[in-house]
Amino acid sequence: MGWYTDMDSQISKQRAADRLVRFFEDQIRDGALAAGDTLPPEREMVQQHGVSRTVAREAVLMLANKGLVQARPGFRPVVVKPGYDIAITVVESVVGQLLGQPGGVRNLFDLRIMMEAALVREAALTASKTDIQRLKEALAANEAAIDDSARFYETDTAFHGVLYEIPDNPVLPSVHRAYTTWLSAHWTKMPRMETRNRTNFEAHTAIFDAILLRDPDLAEKQLRVHLAAAWQQVSTTFTDL
């Protein structure tokens, strides 16, 4: 009987938290609570909504997990402006679990390949003079960092990042930051060597040259060759992927 009583209590708390979350979601959607506004103090939530402090805290946590508020210990939760980075952050815990499954890292990397294959084709067809200059500068920074592996990784990421910015779609840079975050656990632990850095720089140069030639087929081919080699480097280092 005690087990059922505890279960009923837990379900009741969850339902109360869900109702409180829906209330604040409606206020945020309707504009009653705007970005930068704070939620009411916990004591006020308890009094106005007839819930316990535990329920109020659970509701705040749920709102934070949905990317609707920023919650910090000792501070009242603040409503945040919805954005693509926040939306992606919300699914980060789920992605983390998927990456831990057999083949999880490979699946995400395959998705990155498909995305970047489309992006280099787009760059070859539509990159402006400004875009080309940004790629050129990113490539130069990449070359200058060949003998500094930590810096090389940063410039490698930055070069690919420009590809996500060329279509001028605000979703894409957020996707790139997400890929970088999700895959960095393996990529940053790779043993770095100057010879490997130079090989990767030369692959970036081949991609850049194909974009300069305005040849989308060649750009995609060079991108796929580069990322296939990158995956080979990782998979030979981590056998549990």
pLDDT at 240: 58
As a residue count, the chain comes to 241
Mean pLDDT across the chain? 85
pLDDT at 212: 97
Q: Is the pLDDT of residue 203 over 80?
A: yes
Residues of the chain with CATH 1.10.10.10: 2-82
In the Cβ-directed half-sphere of 185, how many Cα atoms lie within 13 Å? Answer: 11
Q: Is the pLDDT of residue 5 over 50?
A: no
pLDDT band with cut points at 50, 70 and 90 for residue 92: low
pLDDT band with cut points at 50, 70 and 90 for residue 38: very high
pLDDT in tens, 170-180: 888 888 888 88
Residues of the chain with CATH 1.20.120.530: 90-237
The architecture CATH gives domain 90-237: Up-down Bundle (1.20)
CB-based contact 216:124 (threshold 8 Å): yes
pLDDT at 106: 84
Q: Is the pLDDT of residue 20 over 70?
A: yes
- Taking residues 107-119, report their average pLDDT: 92
Residues 6+ apart with CB under 8 A from 109: 183, 227, 231
Does the 2-82 domain belong in CATH 1.10.3720.10?
no
Centre a 10 Å sphere on the Cβ of residue 233 and count the other Cβ atoms it contains: 16
pTM score, two decimals? Answer: 0.65
Cβ density class 171-197: b for 16+ within 10 Å, e for less: ebbbbbbbbbebbeebbeebeeeeebb
Centre a 10 Å sphere on the Cβ of residue 225 and count the other Cβ atoms it contains: 13
